[in-house]
Structure 1
Amino acid sequence: MEKEITPIPSIKVQDFGYNELNLLEKYKGKPLVIIIYNNQCLGCTGRAIPLAYEYQKEYADLQVIGIHSIFNKKPVTEDDIKSIFTTQELPFPIYLDQNHQVYDQFESEGTPQWLLITAEGILYRSIFGSQLGAQNRLMYALDALCNEG
């Protein structure tokens, strides 16, 4: 029996003003590459974030989005997020995942966790990691996602 594919109902995050928003509503109709990460993760800041930026430049039809998952009670500010970048400008939209709810929603294995979501809001792939094996799986999945239809 084939598994029924249903759209994700929502991905709720907060902006830097702590306003809640649903990414699937905000970016409706666009394929998404979401990277769930944490500033304290060296694989995230050293490999995954730069890779996400490259994907944003390479795939014009994709919307790359960062979601910073928060695993403790310490508030995270826009300055905290920007502190990992060489410029004070974000390379793509980044949102906050208070109490790691999105991280849990997608049963993330750790950070970085990549979510590839179709323009119809269906989870296409979920890939953990930033090392070469994960990068290869991600590249093939992105090519397939972008060349469908």
Structure 2
Amino acid sequence: MTGRDEQRSRVYAWEDEMVVPRDPSLIAYGAAQGMVDAIWSELGLRYPPRVEPLPKQATTRMADGSRLTLRLPAQTPSWCLLHELAHALTSTHDGHSDQHGPVFAGIYVQLLVRYLRLPQPWLLATLESADVQVDMRAQPLFVDTAAFQAQL
């Protein structure tokens, strides 16, 4: 992992206030891998992360994600799956991660716009108000820049 996750609490607070109320949909665990595979493919990527059950002892987190694995409960809100996919896209197999930094936020916004159809100008304005830094040029840490941008 990379150092201190400076934006974590601000991202979570923004998400709770702005994203959660606008997306009540849930994804069953059994459907999650298919969705991850489809989104990964739509982004022009190969080798999506594997979906695994979130351990029962993980009582303080809703889910977690890295480049290789997304761990999810029996049902996951759609926004949460996109949040964890943003972690997968901004992490490498060796553990390097943008955590909740500007690259993560940029990828997350791109996913929210594309899959939940939330308006980008509104997302960016609310993120700015929440003092969350966003890199809208963000791309996965492990892919060719031009190929990924062509998919968006």
> TM-score, normalised to structure 1's length?
0.31
Q: Which has the higher helix share?
A: 2
Greater strand proportion: 1
Instruction: Report the TM-score, using the length of structure 2 for normalisation.
Output: 0.31
The answer to which structure, 1 or 2, has the higher relative contact order (CA under 8 A, 6+ apart) is 1
